[in-house]
Structure 1
């Protein structure tokens, strides 16, 4: 096998690493997920507030990457369990989004003071520089809105112009369009014609399903799904193990506790 040092010395590119943001780059257990719980509680008149485990169970279905949709689905299921059809639930989606955003971003759309301001970061910019020095290209594909994604990437991490596909730019996961777009952007930017091996690093079932879909559409490229355990599932060994098995069952080749554990050496082994 070609060693990492020889790959770098020869100037050849090793791989492309694309990262999800929420649960991978920043801890959203006290922000996005808290906003989901707040929203569901509000629109069920305080009767039902989903637990973190219940939100994880919904996300494990692989269909609810959009947190507005996830909130609405939990609300609908709450009323269905009480014998009320979805068509009978007076739920305005725009009002739901406005409420959610007021919690996550804050009441003033031009000056954010909400939960987003207190999200712990899960990596240091030096990690990305480390990947660059190893000839690994990197970018981001996230279900967050572009402004919310850039809040973490540019304002918090100081990345000037990251390769990013966000909610407004592509269909939601597990549709692979956004992942493919980031990969194509990086290859064009660096004038690379041959399809580089690509890993996608995410923390949800939808992320792993996205890799599977990309592999089906473009089997000429090596695609690898890599899981990262979000902080909120690492509180107990039992929950950690269950979440890890869920990601592996969804297609993760390997699961890490933190994104910075995915070193250039690990990436070479994966691809």
Structure 2
């Protein structure tokens, strides 16, 4: 596969977030409401689409836990399938709840659903007390070490060296400060204009805006762009970019290190339209040269 530029996601591609972001999702809900879902089931929300923002995934998880306490009959697989059918993301989750429970139950659920508190707890669990205070300039109310320190790096030094020779961009759902921390840990250097984060003035994935903007920034001679990500939304982003910008060729690469592993994950990527599926980001130098 000959390409002119490479775009990467961070989580699940460059760094392992199973024991950081995904742990923060389930433990934030547990801390606030005393109940949660298994960490492995976070993938069901990711597969439903629209959950590029892990804060919103946390909010949706809490919505499900609260609704179950009030008698929601859906198991989690049924709930997330219904989210996908309702358009994905947090709004999809709200639509499912609106259709699945009586109005009085829905009002009791929403009365207990504290999205601000969930986000605050998430950030403290993920960053740890000291880093939370430094980045958010708020006094923490939890004493935590921070799951951010439990993020093994997937990308090898040889791959980092290869990436340094490519026109390279990053599209991630992380806040900018947390993206910078992860990239610093990997040794990858990307200019600010080629780094799209939660804080950028572009819609999040699977909207194609960031990928198209990067392709334009790469300049003349950049006609074939590969985007490697670990979720089905990453694959959708590529196809949305191809539809919106037919003047360039976009290629979707599914990376199996983030959760969609094994034969079932491989098939899920192919069904979503991935042009190629790899086990880790470290296969890119071989397949793209």
TM class by shorter-chain length? Answer: 0.7 to 0.9
Post-superposition, which runs of at least 4 consecutive aligned residues in structure 1 deviate over 4 A? 110-113, 231-234
| SS across alignment from 1:262 | helix
Tell whether 2:281 aligns with 1:255.
no
Partner of 2:34: 46
Deviates more, 1:87-96 or 1:55-64: 87-96
Evaluate the alpha carbon distance shift between residue 87 and residue 65 of structure 1 in structure 2; reply closer, same or farther with a 3 A threshold. Answer: farther
Query: After the TM superposition, which residues 69-108 of structure 1 pair with which residues of structure 2 at under 5 Å, given as runs?
Result: 69-81=56-68, 82-83=71-72, 84-85=105-106, 88-89=109-110, 90-108=112-130
Query: After the TM superposition, which residues 113-152 of structure 1 pair with which residues of structure 2 at under 5 Å, given as runs?
Result: 113-133=145-165, 136-152=166-182
Structure 2 CA distance, aligned partners of 1:28 and 1:209? 21
Structure 1 CA distance, aligned partners of 2:22 and 2:203? 21
Q: List runs of 5+ in structure 1 lacking aligned partners.
A: 5-13, 235-239
Deviates more, 1:106-115 or 1:193-202: 106-115
Q: Residue 80 of structure 1: CA displacement?
A: 2.8
How far does the alpha carbon of each residue in 1:68-126 deviate from its partner, in whole angstroms, 9 at most, with x for none?
11111111122333243166322222211111000111123245841112210011243
Contact kept, 8 Å, 2:169 with 2:190, in 1: the verdict is no
Size of the aligned set, in residue pairs, is 242
Partner of 1:9: none
Contact kept, 8 Å, 1:226 with 1:252, in 2: the verdict is yes
Tell whether 2:285 aligns with 1:246.
no
| SS across alignment from 1:243 | helix
Partner of 2:16: 27
**Root-mean-square deviation over aligned CA pairs:** 2.3
Decide which structure has greater helix share: 2
| SS across alignment from 2:226 | strand
Q: Residue 137 of structure 1: CA displacement?
A: 1.3
Structure 2 CA distance, aligned partners of 1:67 and 1:125? 28
Structure 2 CA distance, aligned partners of 1:22 and 1:146? 13
Contact kept, 8 Å, 1:15 with 1:196, in 2: the verdict is yes
Structure 2 CA distance, aligned partners of 1:195 and 1:253? 19
